[in-house]
Amino acid sequence: MPRLVVVSNRLADPRKSAAGGLAVALAEVLNETGGLWFGWSGRTVEPNEGGRGGEGRLHTQHAGPVTLVTVDLSREDHDSFYAGYSNGVLWPVFHYRLDLADFDAGYITGYRRVNQMFARKLKALLRDDDIIWVHDYHLIPLAAELRALDCHQRIGFFLHIPLPPSLILAAIPGHDWLMRALFAYDLVGFQSKADLLHFTGYVEAEAHAHSMGEGRWRAFNRTLQAGSFPIGIDVEEFESLTRAPEGREMFERMRREYSRRNLLVGVDRLDYSKGLPQRMKAFREMLERYPEHRSSATLIQIASPSREDVSAYSDILHELETLCGSINGNFGELDWMPVRYIHRTVARTRLPGLYRASRVALVTPLRDGMNLVAKEFLAAQDPADPGVLVLSRFAGAAEQLRDALLVNPYDVEGTANAIHLALQMPVEERRNRHAALMSVIREYDVHWWCDSFLDALVQAQPEETGTPWLRL
């Protein structure tokens, strides 16, 4: 059996809690397959400690069947590669937010330097028959850098975030360089059919690629397989977390504490793509329009701190705090606070109980690659008395979860009406919707995602020997 080598910027110890869809899903996959997980250590070092240009030290750690190898970044590389290019350019543009992008010309040099450093460090750890699976926007040029070092292994790439239409992508200075780099992979996977369409639209229009049929595209003298592989959760694992003593205890505590209330829940990284201010405005509008929910509806919003060194993130933090404060100030009573806002990552074992005690989940991102919280909420419900999922039509998950209450999160009034509908939905309708949604998330779970991607990677037709590798 070839070894699976996963490469991502963010790693997590598979035995501990993490916030972020990528870390949660990969921890689940690797716990089962075993293998090597390579990426950033999460630490920045001073240049004299780690060396300039990100030549950081490697750290090796064993976590069950997984070997984690991580590398430190210099402060300069962290600022240009992670905060700068990845989260200041690619994240906003790929989430359709050109207004928030900071196109500083210096960032791309750091981005390329760190990808080259990752390639050098990783090459030394590779075996000839490894299958390499690279994840997310931080590492788009990694395969091209590995190829430049003569790595011939199968390499696949999965984009966890959305891919916008070509006219938005084309706003990135150097977009052609970036998209060309994808052709060094054997397989490129996206979360949704819409993202895949944007990719094929781009490569046809901008790179004059032509279709070879069955998802194969030829450009730059290379052939690439492209497909959509919507990521899922480990439904069984989440169900057993729900049944575990800690899950049950949390559920009972929440039920006791909020016995006279209808709970609504939101769980997100504190990110402007998650639509948190719009969600609060919709909740406020719902209280305004439907006074019968005053004194009963309580929204628990958990938002884990994220990327606090990027300025757009501190702006959203202040906006959210102000909104929560004003809703509580305007609507709150001595014995009822409409919003409980918690700026923290909560232990993963406590989430199922919280989800199960909630009548409604608000998953209303302005744009999201997939959104795993939507699927976790469904898996934690009691099928006989399930809660209702209010889901943004702009989350990748909406392509699959058609039986959720789909909303346009920019439409505050429409979302407020949907929240009211969800709070009032009769049990029969809740059961039917939940059963239909569960059958989708069971079929397309995290194991399906991993197996279907890796099967497609193994089956992707190799280039003829002697074809020159794409050079960046």
Residues annotated as catalytic (active site), given as ranges = 160, 368
| 160 lines the binding site for ligand F6P (CB under 6 A) | yes
Long-range contacts of 91-95 (CB under 8 A, 24+ apart): 91/137, 91/161, 91/273, 92/312, 93/164, 93/168, 93/169, 93/171, 93/172, 94/137, 94/161, 94/162, 94/163, 94/164, 95/161, 95/162, 95/164, 95/273, 95/366, 95/367
345 binds, among ligand ADP, ligand F6P, none (CB under 5 to 8 A by kind): ligand ADP
Of 154, 281, 307, 350, the one binding ligand F6P by CB under 6 A: 307
10 binds, among ligand F6P, ligand ADP, none (CB under 5 to 8 A by kind): ligand F6P
For ligand F6P, what does the binding mask look like between residues 254 and 293, x meaning CB under 6 A?
---------------x------------------------
| 21 lines the binding site for ligand F6P (CB under 6 A) | yes
Of 225, 242, 306, 400, the one binding ligand F6P by CB under 6 A: 306
Q: Which of residues 9-38 bind ligand ADP (CB under 6 A)?
A: 19-22, 24
Cβ-closest position to ligand ADP: 21
Torsion of CA 274, 277, 278, 284, to 10 degrees: 140
Q: Which of residues 250-289 bind ligand ADP (CB under 6 A)?
A: 267-269
- Side-chain-side CA neighbours of residue 344 (13 Å): 9
373 binds, among ligand F6P, ligand ADP, none (CB under 5 to 8 A by kind): ligand ADP
Q: With respect to ligand F6P, which residue has the nearer C-beta, 254 or 373?
A: 373
Integer angstrom CA distances of residue 394 from 171, 235, 391: 21, 23, 8
| 456 lines the binding site for ligand F6P (CB under 6 A) | no
Q: Which of residues 136-155 bind ligand F6P (CB under 6 A)?
A: 136
Q: With respect to ligand F6P, which residue has the nearer C-beta, 396 or 409?
A: 396
List the beta strands (DSSP E) in 161-307.
Answer: 187-190, 210-213, 216-219, 222-228, 262-269, 297-304
Of 23, 250, 327, 360, the one binding ligand F6P by CB under 6 A: 23
Of 10, 218, 248, 253, the one binding ligand F6P by CB under 6 A: 10
- Side-chain-side CA neighbours of residue 454 (13 Å): 19
Q: Which of residues 208-247 bind ligand ADP (CB under 6 A)?
A: none
Question: Strands 35-45 and 4-8: what pairing?
Answer: parallel
CA proximity to 82, closest of 56, 123, 113, 52:
113
Query: How near is the Cβ of 91 to ligand F6P at its closest, in Å?
Result: 7
Burial class (CB in 10 A: 0-12, 13-18, 19+), 345: middle
Of 14, 20, 56, 266, the one binding ligand F6P by CB under 6 A: 20
Burial class (CB in 10 A: 0-12, 13-18, 19+), 324: buried
Q: With respect to ligand F6P, which residue has the nearer C-beta, 136 or 285?
A: 136
Query: How near is the Cβ of 136 to ligand F6P at its closest, in Å?
Result: 4
| 372 lines the binding site for ligand ADP (CB under 6 A) | yes
Q: Can you say how many angstroms the Cα of residue 315 is from the centroid of all Cα atoms in its chain?
A: 21
Per the listing, tokens 């895949």 go with 196
CA proximity to 300, closest of 261, 273, 249:
261
| 348 lines the binding site for ligand F6P (CB under 6 A) | no
Positive or negative CA dihedral for 87, 173, 201, 99? positive
> How many whole angstroms separate alpha carbon 310 and alpha carbon 40?
18
Which residue stretch of 20-28, 57-65, 222-230, 386-394 sits at the interface with ligand F6P (rule: CB under 6 A)? 20-28
Q: Which of residues 296-355 bind ligand ADP (CB under 6 A)?
A: 302-304, 345-346, 351
**Which residues form the interface with ligand ADP (CB under 6 A)?**
19-22, 24, 267-269, 302-304, 345-346, 351, 370-373, 376
